[in-house]
Amino acid sequence: AQKITQTQPGMFVQEKEAVTLDCTYDTSDPSYGLFWYKQPSSGEMIFLIYQGSYDQQNATEGRYSLNFQKARKSANLVISASQLGDSAMYFCAMNTDTGRRALTFGSGTRLQVQP
């Protein structure tokens, strides 16, 4: 079984600053994928970034980067130059290669960007 832990229920950040959202995971499967999704107040889930367990480099997508530390089993999301539109719930999730393809989600972090 796999588990995702997000220990920050809520975070505040000033506009234009960088922010790190924490995510730790647990699995015994050597092959797995880590995902981050954004959920604005409208409710839709927006895919942000993906990191595979065998990827040598940290994933980046525009202002989003994933700080992947395999030995520590952490997959923190870094948002650079925060914008007001970044205010949302953020979910870390994972699946494994040998298990079902469904995602296991953390409890989420609510990010509020202040002007």
Partner 1 sequence: DVKVTQSSRYLVKRTGEKVFLECVQDMDHENMFWYRQDPGLGLRLIYFSYDVKMKEKGDIPEGYSVSREKKERFSLILESASTNQTSMYLCASRIGGPQNNEQFFGPGTRLTVL
> From residue 103, how far is each of 14, 110, 115 by CA, in Å?
31, 20, 34
Q: Which amino acid is at 106?
A: G
Task: Round to whole Å and give the CA distance between 105 and 90.
Answer: 10
| Shortest CB 78 distance to partner 1, Å | 19
Residue (14 or 60) nearer to partner 1, CB: 60
- CA 79, CA 62: separation in Å to the nearest integer? 9
3-state DSSP assignment of residue 97: coil
Closer CB to partner 1, 100 or 115, in the complex = 100
Give me the residues that bind partner 1 (CB under 8 A), please. Answer: 4, 6, 9, 31-33, 35, 37, 42-45, 47, 50, 52, 91, 93, 95-97, 100-108
Smallest separation (angstroms) from partner 1 to the CB of 105: 4
Q: How far is the CB of 12 from partner 1 (least distance, A)?
A: 19
Nearest distance in Å: CB 74, partner 1 = 17
Q: How far apart are CA 77 and CA 86, in angstroms?
A: 13
**Whose Cβ is closer to partner 1: residue 29's or residue 74's?**
29
